[in-house]
Amino acid sequence: MGGKRIAVVTGANKGIGFGIMKELCAKFDGIVYLTARDEGRGLAAVEELKKLGLTARFHQLDIDNADSISKFTEYIKNTYGGLDVLVNNAAIAYKRESTVPLGEQAEHTIRVNFFDTLALCRSLFPLLRPHARVSTVTSSSGHLLRINGNEPHASALKEKLASPSLTEEELCDLMNQYVEKAKEGTWKEAGWPYKPYEVSKVGVSALTRIQQRAFDADPREDLVVNCAHPGDVATDMTSNRGPLTIEEGAVVPSYLALLPPNIKEPKGAYLWYDMRVIDWVKGPIP
């Protein structure tokens, strides 16, 4: 059970997730799990890594499926007894030209990118061993200043999200409130930005700060979580728009996953793709 260090990357069969796999397989001292919704694609990605001389293991994991999360958690618990690195990379985004109604986009995007990420964390965090590292992929869209509507409610909303005493429950309520407003068509008056993807990533960035506060109070030593904007990377998700390669986009999330023991910082921070720690509340956004 003990002995082996374990790292897990979600949504890892392509894109930035696959780039992170390459980094971790090369640099992490332990076993790296490539997880993906689709078993065929996941196993094919493990084979791709093998061709590069890198060893990974595969386990099916769909963060949008509670049963899949609990099976995976049980597997890690029963096989290894604990977990040392978790990279929250799995996410969805609707294309700009999507004709799906905003309310539906909002519901689906917030569910997967925010609530499913949170559900996975709640399931796996009890397995984190001392000195564990959690790295969450956010976005430039996930900075608090994205909530910059001129509506009076935007500043109240920002204040709530920026509060150092914001709880997980309060954050969940805010995310649900956005989905309701998107369905009603009153998101703007409520101070929210239009894009569900932005709101979902603001949510995971805010969640990072809450999780680090909990880690600071945790009896397990030196638990650290950070989130990072990987840069504008050419992937399926971005319709291959973006100047950065997948390898470049993997740099900061991988760096955060591999932070050495007992560091003072970054902790609960928001990092830019060039490794800079950015003030999530005040900015400026580079």
Give the residue numbers marked as catalytic. Answer: 197
Q: CA–CA separation, 272 vs 284, rounded Å?
A: 11
**CB atoms near residue 185 (< 10 Å):** 11
Residue type, 217: A
Tokens describing residue 176: 């649900």
Report strand pairing: 270-271 vs 277-278. antiparallel
275 beta partners: none
**CB atoms near residue 22 (< 10 Å):** 19
34 beta partners: 9, 58
Q: CA–CA separation, 267 vs 265, rounded Å?
A: 5
DSSP-derived 3-state class of residue 5: coil
Q: CA–CA separation, 137 vs 16, rounded Å?
A: 9
Q: CA–CA separation, 124 vs 140, rounded Å?
A: 26
The DSSP secondary structure of 106-159, one letter per residue, reads HHHHIIIIIIIHHHHHHHHGGGEEEEEEEEEE--GGGSGGG---SSHHHHHHHH
Residue with tokens 């649900």: 176
Note the residue count of the chain.
Answer: 286
